[in-house]
Amino acid sequence: MNGTLACHKGLVMLVVMKANASQDDVQAVCRKVESLGLRAHAIPGAQRTAIGITGNQGEVEPGTFEALDCVQEVIRVSKPYKLVSRELKEETTVIRFADSDASIGGNEVAVIAGPCGVESREQAFAAAERVAKAGARFFRGGAYKPRTSPYAFQGLGELGLQILAEVRERFGLLIVTEAVDHESLALVDQYADVIQIGARNMQNFSLLKRAGRAHKPVLLKRGMSATLEEFLMAAEYIMSEGNYNVVLCERGVRTFADHTRNTLDLSVVPAVQRLSHLPIIVDPSHGTGKRNKVTPLSRAAVAVGADGLIIEVHPDPDNALSDGNQSLYPDQFDSLMVEVRQIANVLGRVVAGPVANPMARRHAGAAAD
């Protein structure tokens, strides 16, 4: 494939607006971009708005924009990925949620926890109660499971999504769940707070584009043999369709090492942070495949500067329908939270504290916004 080559030939421009440019100015520049048959992506930053120009129509004359009073400068983006690049936006993207004070990419290390798959209402509720009390803000659980064997548990489908919606109502947790195709993505977009795209679909470009047209943030997991550039280009697919709320997730890559299920590449965290403004979280559960390695690697992930963790926790791992070997017992998750909280504090970050009544926190947070 010569994907990289094609991208280098594509459009590489970024229009940086002056700090005092108005909304009308931004819109006028966007209209000008669109009149050239291209797409404008206005991304507000702390100091100024940048407008990324994408399309595959060839070069644009920088002078077209430089001449405008409201424009500070026009930059050629040197990387094949443009909208995900730190050249577009200096500060890390913070993803926020309505009716919640939880976020991903801010000072708080986001913790997403729950079972691999939603197996029943009882199982999901038992997991949710414990992870919410321990301080997790987000609940994970697949309703659509991409399994190696067609005979393995495939997930409860829409019923699983309904159970997840009940979990949100009952425990005040934001819901993260995987979509595996266009049909499930439309449903996940309705029910969940974050749409997960799994490692096996990281280069399913049609699904990525569909996620780019969805209304919810996307959690994009790294493909099991994806390079950093391929990973960022997958995020670029989502952003190029207009969804700018993308969270990257390192979940281990395949190497010759066989003492763990995958090799968790923690070095990708600072590498991503250097190149991209998107938040990056770590999945030590799939990254190691072994329960006794999840806590050590969670500590390391927070220490290396990850913006969050996604951890499998099951009320009864020994009888889990998927990934029991890597699922923590709820008591182990309690200890993990205590430890990562201390590590986060050393770095000037926070992990939400344990709560007796998670719903009270949710409403307090919403009222404070």
Residue numbers at the binding site for ligand PEP (CB under 6 A): 116, 142, 146, 198-200, 221, 251, 286
For residue 307, the partner it binds in Mn ion, ligand PEP, none, with Cβ less than 5 to 8 A by kind, is: none
Query: Which residues on neighbouring strands pair with residue 97, listed in sequence order?
Result: none
Identity of the residue, 48 or 200, whose beta carbon is nearer to ligand PEP in the bound complex: 200
- Report in angstroms how near the CB of residue 69 gets to Mn ion at its nearest: 54
Q: Which positions lie near Mn ion, rule CB under 5 A? A: 116, 323
- Report in angstroms how near the CB of residue 144 gets to Mn ion at its nearest: 12
Nearest-angstrom CA–CA distance, 2 and 351: 42
Identity of the residue, 82 or 251, whose beta carbon is nearer to ligand PEP in the bound complex: 251
Which residue number places its CB atom closest to Mn ion? 116
- Report in angstroms how near the CB of residue 141 gets to ligand PEP at its nearest: 9
Q: Name the H helices within the chain.
A: 3-9, 23-35, 63-66, 121-134, 158-171, 182-191, 205-212, 228-240, 268-275, 284-288, 291-304, 330-346, 358-368
Identity of the residue, 178 or 236, whose beta carbon is nearer to ligand PEP in the bound complex: 178
- Report in angstroms how near the CB of residue 190 gets to ligand PEP at its nearest: 20
The DSSP H or E segment spanning 197 is strand 194-197
Nearest-angstrom CA–CA distance, 209 and 239: 8
Identity of the residue, 51 or 320, whose beta carbon is nearer to Mn ion in the bound complex: 320
Asked if 288 contacts 250 with a C-beta cutoff of 8 angstroms, the reply is no
The DSSP H or E segment spanning 75 is strand 71-76
Identity of the residue, 54 or 196, whose beta carbon is nearer to ligand PEP in the bound complex: 196
CA dihedral 40, 46, 47, 49 (to 10 degrees): 10
- Report in angstroms how near the CB of residue 88 gets to ligand PEP at its nearest: 27
Nearest-angstrom CA–CA distance, 46 and 284: 32
